[in-house]
Amino acid sequence: MRTVWRWLELRLELKDTLRPLLAHPIPRALDGRVGWFYVLGISVLTAFVIQVVSGVALAITYVPSSESAYDSLKFITDSAALGRFIRGVHWFGACAMVLLIVAHVTRVFLMGAYKFPREINWLSGSLLFLATLLMAFTGQTLRWDQDAFWSLVVGAEQAARTPLIGDPLTRLIVGGYAVSGATVSRVFATHVFVVPGAIALLVLLHVYLVVKRGVSEPPRADEPVDRAYMERYEALVKRGLPYFPYAAWRDAAAAAIVLGVVTVLALVVGPPQLGAPPDPSIVVADPRPDWFFIGYFTILALMPKGAEAVLIIGIPAIIMAFLFLLPFARPFGQRHPLRRPLALTAAVVFIGGYTALTFAGYQAYWVPLRLEGALLPASVTGGLSGAPAVGARLFIDRSCWSCHMIDGSGGRRGPDLTHVAARLSEDRLITRIASGGPGMPDYAAILSKDELANLVAFLGTRR
């Protein structure tokens, strides 16, 4: 081993590079009982490495096209050697990465580690957090089943509402004016190349800043951050211990735990089940994103009429403002959570509220849970014949029933159509159905002229 090391050292001069990383001192308090809080960073990095390795293995067989994506993933799951296991590793690695980075951001926020002089540490970590969510979303859509297809449609609609750049941004995402084969290729390239590359660069910057600025010590109630903080911190570090081996063993243990848990879950539970192949003609009103986005989809489903523009733009704007303005708004002051009750309350409310929204999203009580066997009440279909009777059946078959209620039956996502003919003329019904609108797809390319006429004939009876 010494011979190999001397050979490498002569050519790569690794000692000059690795020694500062391994020998940089950490405050002695971090080697006490609170030291385990500081393993979250390496845990996130471990999950990212798991994603890269398993993702490369999946990309060897996955075919990024609208015609073959679903079938290739089904082949990986059912027939390829170790395919099911690798998909499971990739899925639980994604779950671990999202959970751990949320925990890491929360820990940094509550311990005030974003304050002077570590503002840029927080900004680079915020970018890593957003990149992780983007990688999770693009990974979900690559499954290319019904849920993935409609989640992408919903995501594109959110992008379309961005002021000034909404239209070009949507075309950039979907590769045109409609979700197609070009969309799959773009999502694949984003998920496999763009986002992981950005994360790798941000990780290098983040680690560099941690080494240069030092690891933040556990906050003390009697030591607020001020302009003299660096002098106190440098004195504390001089009494500290080198990272290796005093803290490195904890990071190694945390990495091993993450790898072990992901591997066991992949073997025992396996990957998420594929849904039905994507069919744009079946408008599923309740697309099921992965669990980390269910809470946000719940907000979209339950927001009141007229609030779409405010919430769809406002929620991301608030999150971005919080992430990127926080270190400049509060660079000094108390770091201890008990001396910052507003910060502690905000963290509890946000995490608790999003958890509640996630549970509500899984219940999905605002839309029908399933479309199979759906029937309109006899009070609606009784006495219908000819075109209105055919239209009533189309109302179910084309999933209109899953969004719109008629006489107490159906979903509550769209307007109640019990008396729609009293509000809209035949021409306006045709225009509304054909052109779509906020939250409603364009049916002009989905329905034939006869189907559209039959559906309007049925709705025309609702006075």
Task: Give the per-residue pLDDT at 361.
Answer: 84
Enter the tokens of residue 211: 């080494």
Does residue 302 have a pLDDT over 60?
yes
Does residue 172 have a pLDDT over 90?
no
| pLDDT tier for residue 354 given thresholds of 50, 70 and 90 | very high
| pLDDT tier for residue 369 given thresholds of 50, 70 and 90 | very low
Does residue 309 have a pLDDT over 60?
yes
DSSP codes, 313-329: HHHHHHHHHHHHHHHHH
Enter the tokens of residue 126: 């915020």
Residues 10 and 22: their CA atoms lie apart, in Å, by 19
Name the amino acid, one letter, at 160: A
Share of the chain above pLDDT 70, in %: 94
Given a contact cutoff of 8 angstroms between Cβ atoms, the answer to whether 344 and 110 are in contact is yes
DSSP state of 222: T
Given a contact cutoff of 8 angstroms between Cβ atoms, the answer to whether 446 and 400 are in contact is no
Angle, in degrees to the nearest 10, between helices 40-59 and 83-110: 150
> Taking all residues of the chain, what is their mean pLDDT, rounded to a whole number?
88
Does residue 245 have a pLDDT over 80?
yes
Query: Chain centroid to CA 452: how far?
Result: 36
User: What is the reported pTM?
Assistant: 0.80
**Over the stretch 253-263, which tens digit does the pLDDT of each residue have?**
999 999 999 99
The set of residues, in sequence order, having a beta carbon less than 8 Å from that of 222 and lying 6+ positions away, is none
For 126, counting Cβ atoms within 10 Å of its Cβ (0-12 exposed, 13-18 middle, 19+ buried), the class is buried
| pLDDT tier for residue 373 given thresholds of 50, 70 and 90 | low
Element housing 26 (H / E) = strand 25-26
What CATH class does 23-363 carry? mainly alpha
DSSP codes, 78-109: HTSTTHHHHHHHHHHHHHHHHHHHHHHHHHHH
Sorted by where each begins, the domain ranges of the chain are: 23-363, 378-459
Name the amino acid, one letter, at 83: G
**Over the stretch 410-454, which tens digit does the pLDDT of each residue have?**
777 778 899 999 999 999 999 989 888 766 777 888 889 999 999
Enter the tokens of residue 280: 């744009």
List strand residue ranges (DSSP E) for 241-302, in order: 241-242
The reply to whether domains 23-363 and 378-459 share a CATH topology is no
CATH number belonging to domain 378-459: 1.10.760.10
Name the amino acid, one letter, at 195: V
**Over the stretch 191-221, which tens digit does the pLDDT of each residue have?**
999 999 999 999 999 999 988 888 888 888 8
